[in-house]
Chain A
Amino acid sequence: MSNRNGTIWISGSILIFLITVFGCSSNTGKPDTSSVKFTQYVVRGEELYQKHCSNCHQKNGSGLGLVYPPLNTSDYMDKNFEKVLCLMKYGLKEEITVNGKNFVQPMPGVVTLTDLEVAEIATYIYNSWDHNRGIVDVTEASRVIKNCATADQ
Chain B
Amino acid sequence: MIKKIVVPVVCLFISVCFLSCEKQPLPIFGQRQVVTREENGKQVNDTVYHTIAPFTFTDQDGKTITNETFKGKVYVADFFFTSCRTICPIMKTQMLRVYQEIQNDPEVLLLSHSIDPEYDTVELLHDFAARLDVKSEKWHFATGQPKEYVFDLAQKSYFATAMEDKTEPDGFIHSGAFLLIDRLGRIRGKYDGTKEDDVDRLMKDIKQLERE
Q: Which residues of A contact B (CB under 8 A)?
A: 55-56, 58, 64-68, 104-106, 108
Contact = CB atoms under 8 A, between A and B. Distances in A.
Contacts of A66: 130-133
Contacts of A106: 83
Interface of B: 82-83, 85-87, 89-90, 92-93, 96, 127-128, 130-133
A8 to B, nearest CB: 35
A64 B92 contact: yes
Contacts, number: 32
A55 B86 CA distance: 7
B89 A64 contact: yes
Contacts of B89: 55-56, 64, 67-68
A105 B131 CA distance: 10
B96 A64 contact: yes
Of all A-B residue pairs in the complex, the 4 with the closest CB atoms, nearest first, are A66-B131, A56-B89, A65-B132, A55-B89
A24 B131 CA distance: 45
Contacts of A65: 96, 131-133
Contacts of B96: 64-65
A36 to B, nearest CB: 33
**Residue of B82, B85, B86, B132 with most chain A CB atoms under a 10 A cut-off:** B85
Given A65-B96, A66-B133, A67-B132, A105 B82 contact: yes
16 contacts: A55-B86, A55-B89, A55-B90, A56-B85, A56-B89, A64-B89, A64-B93, A65-B96, A65-B133, A66-B130, A66-B132, A66-B133, A67-B128, A67-B132, A68-B89, A105-B82
A55 B194 CA distance: 10
Contacts of A108: 85
Contacts of A67: 89, 92, 128, 131-132
B192 to A, nearest CB: 15
Nearest to B130: A66
A49 to B, nearest CB: 14
A81 B83 CA distance: 25
A43 B112 CA distance: 36
B37 to A, nearest CB: 51
Contacts of B130: 66
Contacts of B92: 64, 67
A68 B96 CA distance: 13
A108 B90 CA distance: 16
A64 B132 contact: yes
A79 to B, nearest CB: 22
B139 to A, nearest CB: 12
A64 B86 CA distance: 15
Nearest to A103: B131
Nearest to A52: B85
A95 to B, nearest CB: 12
B85 A55 contact: yes
Contact of A55 (B82, B87, B127, B131): B87
B132 to A, nearest CB: 4
Nearest to B134: A65
